[in-house]
Chain A
Amino acid sequence: MTHPQRAAEFLRDPARAAWHDGALWFIREKRDAASLQVEEWEELRALAAAIKAHTLDGLAGYLEQFERNARALGAAVHWARDAREHNEIVHGLLREAGVTRVVKSKSMLTEECGLNPFLARHGIEVTDTDLGERIVQLRGEPPSHIVLPAIHLKKEEVGELFAERLGTEPGLSDPTRLTEAARHSLRERFLAAQAGITGVNFAVAETGGITVCTNEGNADLGASLPPLHIACMGIEKVIPRVADLGVFLRLLARSATGQAITAYTSHFQGPRPDGALHIVLVDNGRSTIAADRTHARSLACIRCGACMNTCPVYRRTGGYSYAATIPGPIGSILEPLRDPERHGSLPFACSLCGSCRDVCPVKIDLDDQLLALRATVADPRSAKTRAMRGLAWVLSDPVRLERAGALGRSLLRLLPGVVAQGRFNAWARNRDLPDPPPKSFRQLHAERQRTGGAP
């Protein structure tokens, strides 16, 4: 299945698609309002982009520095080349500690690695504790957005789910009461957990500390109640200095949800006195992207989700149409770079409008990268690729162009259904073609020359 096919499924319910579009646009507007309150917003974006460019350029050195300092603070540091190694490291740590119940706060990396199903196969129960992630976990779905995992669901659907799984009264759809029910159920899980897994927003090389942002406080509960804290991070999350946190944290929440800062911005500097902290550094294709001159910049992403909230394609086709851990514009770069076979249609899920680039807090040139990727992932058998080859043949010869134009104008007049129908013309799906002009530009120009320019 390709993005257009899955998008067509989503669009079968136009009212719901419009609702989804509006929900995301609402967040985009909150982001705009928040960014406008910071006079030096553009200066911050430029700084953030420059810090990331520098860090990615010297990433090996910064990772070594981070490892050294994290160990000095008492944390254990592990390295994983790929998803499997990451999952095995985490499982090994849990097995060694005799853990069977884990609480996890949001980590797109563990989604990318398929950690939950891996641990489940080994008899370890993982409870996602971010409310949105808990909702999709109970539904057996992946997140549809990296910051708002359940943005595709209506409150009535959450109510039905909770009635079935958490025993709330049927028909309840009030978000406050639903959240309260989840709070009670999850508090029990927090208290019973033997280990907590968190993601990492930033890892600071000069201190060896990690910073985790949440609004719910779920990462803190998971890292402060059970004795074992495992933090999983992609290798691109490291930044050089404590002072750099000021730049990124001023941008992150404002770009993500329009908040000035998340409710909790926690700095874990080594384990707590009575506990253990393990940090797992994961490559899983990142070092390959780092070596790619065109696409290395995509590793600067701080996972705010602003590019999805503004993307006209994401808003109108939903997160699941991407069938990827990270959807939207940034996912349409990262995912095909990792697996071009599976995600080859994603760089085409883009109108090249460039709105993503305009909102990106670290100034990734998303639209340029998506365009560049089309050349490398294009399916040679697709209707559009074949049509383009045909068009190149027509355009390379003036006589052919003249004849093809005349033929096209006649066909559009005589058999509009056949020419403009989606079955034969991939560009005509969901679009109406304008009425064909009776004469070509060349004909009009020739007539004008004959009449000396008189109308």
Chain B
Amino acid sequence: MTSSRDAILAALRRAPGGDVPLPDLVARPAPRGALATRFASALEAAGGRCVRVADSAALEEALAALPAFASAQRRCSLLPGSGGPGFALDEVDDVHSLNDVGFALLPGEFGVAENGAVWVTDAGLRHRAIFHLAEHVGLVVPAGQIVDDLHAAYARVELAARGFGCFIAGPSKTADIEQALVIGAHGPRSLTVFLREG
């Protein structure tokens, strides 16, 4: 008996073909400048906040001034020396017990100026659910690591190996009830991106 796999592939191979070429992706124009500024305004349009900090000390100050961080009962940080004290995320065995995390401070690799997205991965992270499960999320991105658009972004992401990667652009949101924008659908109710110079 032919397997479904073989039947589907055989049917597709019977379709009239035309040797349609795969287009080259043309070289993008030079970055349009003011990357960090464009990133910040795109992120704000997506419902997020962008805070520029000079160094780790400034990051601590900015966190302390953030009500979502200051008032969080339970929080964790994957940024060494920042956002503490918190519980050790990787020592948690059951991912479901992360349900009540009030604030998670997590590293972002780079930002995308055209849409305010930050690239995050689960490299060295036991529970990738934390990005979507915490009530409030802070992402720390090196200020120099902003690319122009998604073409530049995909030129640098590493997707060959096993793992999880995500562009996060703002907090969880929905407009499914009469097109009214509501922030905090299932996931984080706020997203703050800290662009750190030092």
Which of A's residues lie within 8 Å of B, judged by CB? 23, 26-27, 38, 40, 43, 47, 50-51, 53-55, 57-60, 63-64, 73-74, 79-81, 85, 129-132, 135, 148-151, 153-155, 158, 175-176, 178-180, 183, 186-187, 190-191, 204, 207, 209, 215-218, 220-221, 224-225, 235, 240, 242-247, 249-250, 257, 259-270, 272, 281, 283, 287-288, 290-291, 293, 296
Contact of B150 among A135, A158, A245, A266 (CB under 8 A): A245
Contacts of A261 in B (CB 8 A): 46, 112, 115-117, 150, 167, 169
In the bound assembly, the distance between CA atoms of A16 and B18 in angstroms comes to: 48
Contacts of B122 in A (CB 8 A): 272
Q: Is residue B133 contacting chain A, with contact meaning CB distance below 8 A?
A: yes
Distance from B190 Cβ to chain A, minimum over Cβ atoms (Å): 12
Contacts of B168 in A (CB 8 A): 263-264
The contact string, 1 if C-beta is below 8 Å from chain A, for chain B 117-159, is 1000010000111011100000000000000011101110101
Q: Considering only CB atoms, which chain A residue lies closest to B14 in the complex?
A: A291
The contact string, 1 if C-beta is below 8 Å from chain A, for chain B 30-56, is 000000000000100111000000000
Distance from B129 Cβ to chain A, minimum over Cβ atoms (Å): 4
Contact of A235 among B8, B115, B131, B133 (CB under 8 A): B8
Tell me whether A246 and B164 are in contact in the complex, defined as CB-CB below 8 angstroms, given that A225-B95, A260-B114, A291-B14 are known contacts.
no
Q: Considering only CB atoms, which chain A residue lies closest to B160 in the complex?
A: A207
In the bound assembly, the distance between CA atoms of A135 and B174 in angstroms comes to: 13
Whether A175 lies near B177 (C-beta < 8 A) is: yes
A/B interface sample: 21 pairs, CB < 8 A: A27-B179, A57-B19, A63-B12, A79-B5, A81-B8, A131-B185, A135-B177, A148-B179, A175-B180, A220-B131, A225-B129, A243-B151, A249-B150, A260-B42, A261-B169, A262-B169, A263-B47, A264-B168, A267-B157, A269-B161, A291-B14
Contacts of B91 in A (CB 8 A): none
Whether B5 lies near A135 (C-beta < 8 A) is: no
Q: Is residue B88 contacting chain A, with contact meaning CB distance below 8 A?
A: no
The contact string, 1 if C-beta is below 8 Å from chain A, for chain B 156-186, is 0101111111111111111111111010111
Whether A264 lies near B159 (C-beta < 8 A) is: no
5 additional A-B residue pairs with CB within 8 Å, beyond A216-B174, A243-B154, A261-B46: A23-B178, A23-B179, A190-B186, A220-B128, A259-B46
Q: Is residue B65 contacting chain A, with contact meaning CB distance below 8 A?
A: no
Which stretch from B20-28, B72-80, B102-110 is at the chain A interface?
B20-28
Which of B's residues lie within 8 Å of A, judged by CB? 3-5, 7-9, 11-23, 25-26, 29, 42, 45-47, 95-96, 99, 112, 114-117, 122, 127-129, 131-133, 149-151, 153-155, 157, 159-180, 182, 184-188
Tell me whether A54 and B164 are in contact in the complex, defined as CB-CB below 8 angstroms, given that A245-B154, A263-B46, A288-B11 are known contacts.
no
Contact of A175 among B18, B21, B129, B178 (CB under 8 A): B178
Tell me whether A246 and B9 are in contact in the complex, defined as CB-CB below 8 angstroms, given that A132-B176, A265-B167 are known contacts.
no
Whether B154 lies near A266 (C-beta < 8 A) is: no
Whether B21 lies near A217 (C-beta < 8 A) is: no
Contact of B12 among A26, A59, A179 (CB under 8 A): A59
Question: Lowest 6 CB-CB distances: which A-B pairs, in order?
Answer: A217-B187, A132-B176, A260-B115, A287-B11, A224-B129, A216-B185
Contact of B163 among A150, A187, A225, A269 (CB under 8 A): A269
Whether A178 lies near B179 (C-beta < 8 A) is: no
Contacts of B128 in A (CB 8 A): 220, 224, 272
Q: Considering only CB atoms, which chain B residue lies closest to A50 in the complex?
A: B23
Contact of A131 among B19, B116, B154, B176 (CB under 8 A): B176
In the bound assembly, the distance between CA atoms of A131 and B3 in angstroms comes to: 38
Tell me whether A221 and B186 are in contact in the complex, defined as CB-CB below 8 angstroms, given that A245-B150, A245-B154 are known contacts.
yes
Tell me whether A242 and B169 are in contact in the complex, defined as CB-CB below 8 angstroms, given that A81-B7, A191-B99 are known contacts.
no
Tell me whether A135 and B188 are in contact in the complex, defined as CB-CB below 8 angstroms, given that A47-B23, A243-B154 are known contacts.
no
In the bound assembly, the distance between CA atoms of A421 and B27 in angstroms comes to: 61
Whether A218 lies near B185 (C-beta < 8 A) is: yes
Distance from A309 Cβ to chain B, minimum over Cβ atoms (Å): 11
Contacts of B165 in A (CB 8 A): 266-267, 269
Distance from B94 Cβ to chain A, minimum over Cβ atoms (Å): 10
Whether A260 lies near B96 (C-beta < 8 A) is: no
Contacts of A180 in B (CB 8 A): 184
Q: Considering only CB atoms, which chain A residue lies closest to B6 in the complex?
A: A79
In the bound assembly, the distance between CA atoms of A322 and B19 in angstroms comes to: 36
In the bound assembly, the distance between CA atoms of A261 and B96 in angstroms comes to: 29
Q: Considering only CB atoms, which chain B residue lies closest to A293 in the complex?
A: B16
Whether A268 lies near B164 (C-beta < 8 A) is: yes
Contacts of B4 in A (CB 8 A): 79-81, 85, 283
In the bound assembly, the distance between CA atoms of A293 and B17 in angstroms comes to: 9
Whether B8 lies near A246 (C-beta < 8 A) is: no
Tell me whether A183 and B185 are in contact in the complex, defined as CB-CB below 8 angstroms, given that A154-B178, A245-B150 are known contacts.
yes
Distance from B137 Cβ to chain A, minimum over Cβ atoms (Å): 10
In the bound assembly, the distance between CA atoms of A158 and B115 in angstroms comes to: 31
Whether A176 lies near B99 (C-beta < 8 A) is: no
Contacts of B46 in A (CB 8 A): 259-261, 263
Q: Which of A129, A130, A158, A224 lies at the interface centre, i.e. has the most chain B CB atoms within 10 A of its CB?
A: A224
Whether A264 lies near B162 (C-beta < 8 A) is: no
In the bound assembly, the distance between CA atoms of A64 and B172 in angstroms comes to: 35
Whether A220 lies near B132 (C-beta < 8 A) is: yes
In the bound assembly, the distance between CA atoms of A60 and B7 in angstroms comes to: 11
Contacts of A80 in B (CB 8 A): 4
Tell me whether A186 and B186 are in contact in the complex, defined as CB-CB below 8 angstroms, given that A220-B131, A272-B164 are known contacts.
yes
Q: Considering only CB atoms, which chain A residue lies closest to B166 in the complex?
A: A266
Distance from A453 Cβ to chain B, minimum over Cβ atoms (Å): 56
Contact of A183 among B112, B149, B184 (CB under 8 A): B184
Whether B186 lies near A217 (C-beta < 8 A) is: yes
In the bound assembly, the distance between CA atoms of A191 and B47 in angstroms comes to: 26
Tell me whether A290 and B151 are in contact in the complex, defined as CB-CB below 8 angstroms, given that A54-B20, A79-B5 are known contacts.
no
Distance from B135 Cβ to chain A, minimum over Cβ atoms (Å): 11
